[in-house]
Amino acid sequence: MTELAAVRYPTPTLVRTADVSAKALLVLLLMLAVIDPDSGNLRDKAAEARAIGYPLASFTIPVIWLLAWKERASFPWLPDLLVTVTCFTDILGNRLDLYDTISWFDDLMHFANTGLIAAAVILLTLHHSATRTRVVERALAVGATAAIAWEIAEYYAFISGHSERAFAYEDTLSDLALGVIGSVTAALVIHFVWRRGGLRFVAPQLDEAATR
């Protein structure tokens, strides 16, 4: 049996630098938020849960790559960056108090971050020859699941005992809708770029010649 060959494709320095920087800043901001929740505007907003969950999420791809892909594929810098950005922008948005000072910022985060998660999974799990229907299906599966999981976590983390509980139902529905729309948008953008020859080598790819 022919062994699978490692496929290594160069990644733009900007993507690698952005990924490492976002992870470092994320960890720093989380440490500061745990030490002083008021400085990060995370008082009664599950600062401790974020301090645990966000590093786990942002380092999931590196761990999987080390355990399963290292010997046969290059590191998926772009998908990893997309996942890290979702965590970083939430913490940064709270740090700058954007959630409370900009009325539409929360909506933007649900739309964009759910879309980024869906985009990362699409790039990691689908070949660039996948049909538009299949890409959208994958995005909906990932995006809807992520949106529901976030709303459940958000409710039990700080909404259930907060004054916002009275408005939680309406807010949850809009957040779920925005997450699904963001996921479908990400799917359509990726498929469009794939059809034009872009984003072909941003995730682990097996050398097809080596498997024949």
Query: According to the model, what pLDDT value does residue 162 have?
Result: 54
Is residue 107 pLDDT above 90, yes or no? Answer: yes
From the list 182, 171, 170, the residue with the least C-alpha distance to 146 is 182
- How many Å apart are CA 126 and CA 136, to the nearest integer? 11
User: Do the beta carbons of residue 183 and residue 142 sit within 8 Å?
Assistant: yes
Global pTM exceeds 0.75:
yes
167-210: per-residue pLDDT in tens?
555 677 889 999 999 999 999 999 999 999 988 776 555 444 33
DSSP 7: B
Tokens of 183: 């996921």
Q: Which of 44-58, 59-73, 128-142 has the highest mean pLDDT?
A: 128-142
From the list 53, 61, 64, the residue with the least C-alpha distance to 77 is 61
Q: Hey, is 123 helix, strand or coil?
A: helix
Mean pLDDT of the chain: 85
Q: How far is CA 84 from CA 56, 57, 136, 194, 198, in A?
A: 10, 7, 22, 23, 22
Range from 15-24, 42-51, 111-120, 144-153 carrying the lowest mean pLDDT: 42-51
Q: Which amino acid is at 161?
A: G
User: Do the beta carbons of residue 15 and residue 81 sit within 8 Å?
Assistant: yes
